[in-house]
């Protein structure tokens, strides 16, 4: 995540001011975000992953495919993203521009060039460096042609894998051959420079040097697997291949591929990345064709991609297909995805654990506002005693958006408690009742201007004690006075009419 955040920081600091195309900006931000979610400094994207993201699928105008291609080209040309061919495939992979990804891209380009030239190993960088060293040896040894052999190229390839640069190797050769050779002695070769070259470590040692040569870091698992299968540690070019494969395709597929192609007597792994790329193409094609066994599996895969913004891998698709047989309820899966997102847990292992062992809280929706949060807590305290039914929680959320007065909710809970009816149906009835029909807690009916307590009676011996009449409120007394005034006025009007009628009578 740190490397992805560094890429975004670099974009804002160095490149954002230059970007004047909205499509390029959208594609760049989505690409960096998807690379961040993969949580690997050597993570890569293919074009299909970007094209399927909702922000680009619906945000690049009427021709998203054409716009996406042009935006990717601009992002690569600007240096925000790196592009490298996928060995054995026509697809292009896109990386964040960092040191680890640059090493992977260089390795992929070497592998692609070697594959096109029909060579078994990537030797371009080694041959170029060896050409420079051969010219220097010819000058220092005063010979016309230095015959470059496979041993020389192997030495250079190993040194480059250690982390030595061409300039460091050139300086080391000059130091080793500084003393003129005797006329009777044969011309010195590159192997004669080995002690001087390896006397000091590289200025920037590679992971291969630190883990395999100097043993200052733990050996990566892919290198351990190679050692177990081949009976020896990998050479520099072999380490580069297996480490690149693990960064691109994941550790588990790389280990499984190594077991298939490696033998102790034949440790050739030059075709490893091409094999993994071909396997990935086939698996993604299978998923995109929706050859998943059932509709439920396809729906779960769609929810996975919508939740995480990433296409599901073949390994996760297999685990989903197996788990669907045990948990065929789509509600459980959806609740697990929703809960994981709310907990900011973007991890398939976390979701699988939730689906295998769902808890009651998994299906309870979160409160939509502060009133709903208060109602959730109060309901658990008074009614649910710690549990909250998901259907009740959804109704509380719906009602909390219309009844936003927390005091009104408190009165409803109090009224339910006073009526010995602490259940959601009663509480909801009190909350949704018209304002003029709502009664204080404990009230059952009202009379003129007064409110009576419940008409239950208590018998003590031969006496009957009835509930006392509650004191009327100020509003009720005012209403009673107004009704009395109206009755008096009505009687006066009738009396005046009667007198007028008597006067008119002959």
Residue 202 is predicted with a pLDDT of: 92
54-58 long-range contacts (CB < 8 A, ≥24 apart) are 54/306, 54/309, 55/26, 55/30, 56/26, 56/27, 56/30
Residue pair 308/346 in contact by the 8 Å Cβ criterion:
yes
The last residue of a domain, from among 331, 356, 381: 356
> What domain count does the chain have?
5
Residue 250 in tokens: 């994941």
Q: Of 411, 426, 442, which marks where a domain is finished?
A: 442
> Is residue 503 in a domain?
no
Q: Are residues 147 and 269 in the same domain?
A: yes
Indicate if 243 and 217 belong to the same structural domain.
yes
Question: Rg of the chain's alpha carbons, rounded to an integer?
Answer: 40
Within 13 A of 247's CA, how many CA atoms are on the CB side?
A: 22
213: in domain: yes
CA distance 237 to 163: 12
272-282 per-residue burial string, b: 16 or more CB within 10 A, e: under 16: bbbbbbebbbe
Indicate whether 429 and 458 sit together in one domain. Answer: no
Domain encompassing residue 474? 447-483
Rounded to two decimals, the pTM is 0.47
- Report the alpha-carbon distance of residue 380 to residue 372 in Å, rounded: 12
Q: Which helix (H) or strand (E) holds 130?
A: helix 124-141
Tokens of 443: 């009230």
Cα(383)–Cα(25) distance, integer angstroms: 52
303 and 180 co-located in one domain: no
Residue 117 lies in a domain: no
Distances (CA, A) of 256 to 42, 81, 246: 20, 30, 11
Q: What is the DSSP letter of 365?
A: P
How many CB atoms are located within 10 Å of the residue 121 CB?
19
Q: What is the pLDDT along the chain (506 residues), one digit of tens a residue?
A: 444 456 777 778 877 888 888 888 888 888 888 888 776 777 788 887 888 777 787 788 777 778 888 888 888 888 888 888 765 556 788 888 887 778 777 767 666 665 555 444 444 678 888 898 889 888 888 888 888 888 888 889 899 889 899 999 999 999 988 888 887 888 889 999 999 999 889 998 988 899 999 999 898 888 899 988 888 899 888 888 888 888 777 788 888 888 888 877 777 887 787 788 777 766 655 555 543 445 677 778 878 877 777 777 777 887 888 888 888 877 788 888 887 887 788 788 888 888 887 765 556 667 778 888 888 888 878 776 656 677 777 788 888 888 888 888 888 888 888 888 888 888 888 888 876 555 554 444 444 444 445 544 444 444 444 444 445 567 777 777 788 788 888 888 888 888 777 776 65
Q: How many residues does the chain have?
A: 506
Examine the domain organization and report whether 245 and 205 are in the same domain: yes
DSSP 288-330: HTT--SSHHHHHHHHHHHHHHSSPPPHHHHHHHHHHHHH---H
Query: Are 190 and 264 in a shared domain?
Result: yes
Say what the pLDDT of residue 119 is: 44
Number of H helices, E strands in the chain: 24, 7
State the SS3 of 23-58.
HHHHHHHHHHHHHHHCCCCCCEEEHHHHHCCHHHHC
- Count Cα atoms within 13 angstroms, Cβ side, for 165: 5
In a domain, 68, yes or no: yes
Verify that 45 and 79 share a domain, yes or no.
yes
183 shares its domain with 209: yes
240 near 273, Cβ under 8 Å? no
Residue 85 included in any domain: yes
- Are 177 and 242 contained in the same domain? yes
Phi and psi of 84, rounded to 5°? -145, 145
Are both 436 and 451 inside the same structural domain?
Answer: no
Asked whether residue 89 falls in the same domain as residue 213, the answer is no
Give the pLDDT confidence score for residue 120 in this predicted structure: 43
Q: Does 71 map to a domain?
A: yes
Query: Does residue 396 fall inside a structural domain?
Result: yes
Given a contact cutoff of 8 angstroms between Cβ atoms, the answer to whether 110 and 125 are in contact is yes
**What is the C-alpha to C-alpha distance for residues 83 and 263, in angstroms, rounded to an integer?**
33
**Cα distances (angstroms) measured from residue 149 to each of 29, 122, 134, 152, 164:** 48, 16, 11, 5, 20
Regarding whether 433 and 351 lie in a shared domain, the answer is: no
Read off the CATH number of the domain in which 59 is found.
1.10.10
Q: What is the DSSP letter of 192?
A: G
From 81, 98, 115, the end of a domain falls on 98
- Residue carrying the six token digits 């390839």: 157
| 3 state SS for 62-114 | CCHHHHHHHHHHHHHHHCCEEEEECCCCCCEEEEECCHHHHHHHHHHHHHHHH
Q: Is residue 476 part of a domain?
A: yes
């Amino acid at each position: 995540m740190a490397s992805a955040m560094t890429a975004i920081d670099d974009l804002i600091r160095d490149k954002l001011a230059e970007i004047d195309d909205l499509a390029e900006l959208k594609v760049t931000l989505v690409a960096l975000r998807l690379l961040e979610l993969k949580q690997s400094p050597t993570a890569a994207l293919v074009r299909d992953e970007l094209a399927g993201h909702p922000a680009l699928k619906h945000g690049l105008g009427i021709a998203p495919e054409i716009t996406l291609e042009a935006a990717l080209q601009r992002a690569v040309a600007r240096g925000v993203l790196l592009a490298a061919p996928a060995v054995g495939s026509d697809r292009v992979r896109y990386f964040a521009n960092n040191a680890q990804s640059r090493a992977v891209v260089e390795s992929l380009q070497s592998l692609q060039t070697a594959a096109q030239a029909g060579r078994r190993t990537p030797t371009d960088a080694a041959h170029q460096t060896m050409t420079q060293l051969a010219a220097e040896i010819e000058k220092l040894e005063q010979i016309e042609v230095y015959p470059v052999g496979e041993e020389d190229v192997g030495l250079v390839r190993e040194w480059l894998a250690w982390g030595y640069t061409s300039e460091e190797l050139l300086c080391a050769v000059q130091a080793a051959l500084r003393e003129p050779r005797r006329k009777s002695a044969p011309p010195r070769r590159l192997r004669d420079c080995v002690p001087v070259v390896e006397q000091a470590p590289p200025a920037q040692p590679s992971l291969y040097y630190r883990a395999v040569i100097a043993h200052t870091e733990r050996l990566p698992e892919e290198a351990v697997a190679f050692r177990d299968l081949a009976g020896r540690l990998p050479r520099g070019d072999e380490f580069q291949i297996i480490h690149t494969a693990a960064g691109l395709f994941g550790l588990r597929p790389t280990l499984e591929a190594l077991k298939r192609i490696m033998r102790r007597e034949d440790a050739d792994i030059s075709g490893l990345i091409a094999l993994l790329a071909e396997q990935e193409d086939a698996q993604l094609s299978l998923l995109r064709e929706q050859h998943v066994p059932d509709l439920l599996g396809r729906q779960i895969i769609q929810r996975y991609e919508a939740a995480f913004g990433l296409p599901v891998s073949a390994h996760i698709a297999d685990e989903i297909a197996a788990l669907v047989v045990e948990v065929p309820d789509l509600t459980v899966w959806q609740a697990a995805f929703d809960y994981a997102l709310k907990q900011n847990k973007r991890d398939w292992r976390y979701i699988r654990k939730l689906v295998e062992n769902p808890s009651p809280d998994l299906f309870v929706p979160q409160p939509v506002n502060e009133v709903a949060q208060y109602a959730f807590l109060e309901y658990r305290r008074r009614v649910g005693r710690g549990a909250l039914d998901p259907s009740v929680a959804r109704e509380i959320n719906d009602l909390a958006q219309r009844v936003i007065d927390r005091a009104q909710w408190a009165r409803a809970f109090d009224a339910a408690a006073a009526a010995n009816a602490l259940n959601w149906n009663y509480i909801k009835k009190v909350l949704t009742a018209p304002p003029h029909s709502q009664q204080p807690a404990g009230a059952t009916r009202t009379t003129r201007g007064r409110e009576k307590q419940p008409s239950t009676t208590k018998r003590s011996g031969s006496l009957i004690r009835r509930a006392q009449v509650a004191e009327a409120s100020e509003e009720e007394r005012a209403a009673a006075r107004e009704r009395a005034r109206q009755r008096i006025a009505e009687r006066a009007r009738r009396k005046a009419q009667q007198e007028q009628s008597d006067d008119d009578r002959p």
